[in-house]
Amino acid sequence: MRKLFLCLITIMVAAPVGAQDLVDQIANALEPKVIEWRRDFHANPELSNREFRTAGVVAEHLRNLGLEVTTEVAHTGVIGILKGAFPGPTVALRADMDALPVKERVDLPFKSEVISLYRGEEVPVMHACGHDTHVAMLMGAAEALAGMRDQLHGTVKFIFQPAEEGAPPGEDGGAELMVSEGVMEGVDVIFGLHIAAGTYVGKLEYRPKGMMAAVDDFRITVKGKQAHGSAPWMGVDPIVTAAQIVNNLQTIVSRSLELTKAAAVVTVGAIHGGVRSNIIPEELEMIGTIRTFDPEMRTQLHSRFRTIVTNTAESNGATAVVDLPYSAHYPVTFNDPGLTDQMMDTLERTAGKENVVLIDARTGAEDFSFFANEVPGLFLFVGGKPLSVPADVKVSHHTPDFFIDESGMKLGLRTLINLTLDYMNQASTQ
């Protein structure tokens, strides 16, 4: 199959067609394989730092393409190096591989039934953020560009990254660890994209400068005094204390931050405490996330957070320990303005000018930010919402109902190929 496809690329390169027509033909030929890969990954999702099977499939594919392959980078990451025939820049392309502890509710033939361990508990696992599509698209881009190596002016580094959703507590991982292990050494520029369930198929979304928020997760441990549920005056109730902490934390954004300057979010995502209806527990744990765009506001929010948690607990006779950040702490995902402007013609040619959309900053976060802090980076959203779904019907990422129209992946594939080729060609003619 690979030999047939490489022969197809050779025929296309030799044929009298324009560069865009060539990329479109290659993408059309690769689309069935990209969909097949995506469905395989979707049916076999793996949690952060546990992407063993996924990494194995990726590594084998890259070796079959004749790339230089390095495995076990940042635990389970895979790096593939494709050297073109001519000198030029090194372009990095990145995809994240991990799934989430979510039970899938969409009835698909390749629906996930996987159960794994997360924080010591058995949990269902699902690709509820589309990382399966990212891996499949980058595998397709690797195959396409490998078939063009005789025309490439430079080197392509394919980065298949683990643990974008955050390494398990007590572990390191993700883009930050990859950077510390030297993955970005020698790289001139990096491109990445994310499938978007709320954006219609055929659309590309971008924003110069800050596109996605910085994130800091937190853990709060509230310690009280255990007592019988029928006699709460004999103890100190960490559950009541936690309820007051949750409410009081929301006043930080609404009353302490200058929101006309930048957005911010504080969310408590989980509370664990107690085992029986008639026992007031001794201890309770809360975990959650903070999102910010402005460094000064981030510092201010952290300070107010600690003050509110500590003083609210004290006012109830309890104590609270704050771990902030707890495990994840990504900077703002920043698109280099010069690079964004440089590649606009590529984006508009690939998707059509009317389909390249400037968006507001989003409070989601991406550890692609660590890569883009090292070299100029450009991160994009590619549409995955079916055209048949009404605009007011929205499905969130990280939910059981997350769904992607697979036809959107072809635009992502074409975008990765065109960004690489155009950047290399522009550099070679300077």
Active site residues: 330, 406
Q: How far is 299 from 327, CA to CA, in rounded Å?
A: 17
Q: Using an 8 Å Cβ cutoff, are 296 and 303 in contact? A: no
Q: Quick one: DSSP state of residue 127?
A: -
Distances (CA, A) of 211 to 334, 369, 372: 6, 10, 12
Q: Using an 8 Å Cβ cutoff, are 364 and 207 in contact? A: no
Q: How far is 14 from 365, CA to CA, in rounded Å?
A: 43
Is residue 31 classed exposed, middle or buried when 0-12, 13-18 and 19+ CB atoms within 10 A define those classes? Answer: middle
For the chain, the C-alpha Rg in angstroms (whole number) is: 24
Q: Using an 8 Å Cβ cutoff, are 309 and 252 in contact? A: no
Q: Quick one: DSSP state of residue 101?
A: S
**Nearest Cα residue to 85 out of 14, 25, 146, 142:** 146
Instruction: State how beta strands 86-96 and 189-200 pair.
Output: parallel
Instruction: State how beta strands 153-161 and 86-96 pair.
Output: parallel
